[in-house]
Amino acid sequence: METNTNRDQQDILLEVKNLKKYFPIRTGFVKKTDLKAVDDVSFFIRKGETLGIVGESGCGKTTLGRTILRLEEPTSGDIRYDGETIIGKDMKPYRNHMQIVFQDPYASLDPRKTVSDIIGEAMDIQKLYASKAERREKILNLMNLVGLNREFYNRFPHEFSGGQRQRIGIARALAVDPGFIVCDEPVSALDVSIQAQIINMLEELQETRQLTYLFIAHDLAIVKHISNRIGVMYLGHMVELTTSAELYKNPLHPYTQMLLSAIPIADPDRSESRERIRLEGEIPSPLNPPSGCPFRTRCPRGAQCCAEQMPELKEVEQGHYVACHVL
Per-residue pLDDT tens over the stretch 152-208: 999 999 999 999 999 999 999 999 999 999 999 999 888 888 999 999 999 999 999
Confidence bin at 12 (pLDDT 50/70/90): very high
Q: How far is CA 270 from CA 138, 225, 245, 262, 275, in A?
A: 51, 21, 20, 13, 10
**Alpha-carbon torsion (36, 42, 46, 49), positive or negative:** negative
Give burial (CB, 10 Å; 0-12/13-18/19+) of 45: buried
The alpha carbon of 123 is separated from its chain's Cα centroid by a whole number of angstroms, namely: 25
Whether this model's pTM surpasses 0.75: yes
Residue 283, pLDDT above cutoff 50: yes
Task: Identify the three-state secondary structure at position 215.
Answer: strand
Map out the domains of the chain as residue ranges.
9-92+213-322
Report the amino acid identity of residue 137: E
Confidence bin at 6 (pLDDT 50/70/90): very low
Per-residue pLDDT tens over the stretch 114-163: 999 999 999 999 999 999 999 999 999 999 999 999 999 999 999 999 99
- Provide the H-helix boundaries in 265-314: 268-273, 304-308
pLDDT higher for 121 or 262? 121
The CATH classification number of 9-92+213-322 equals 3.40.50.300
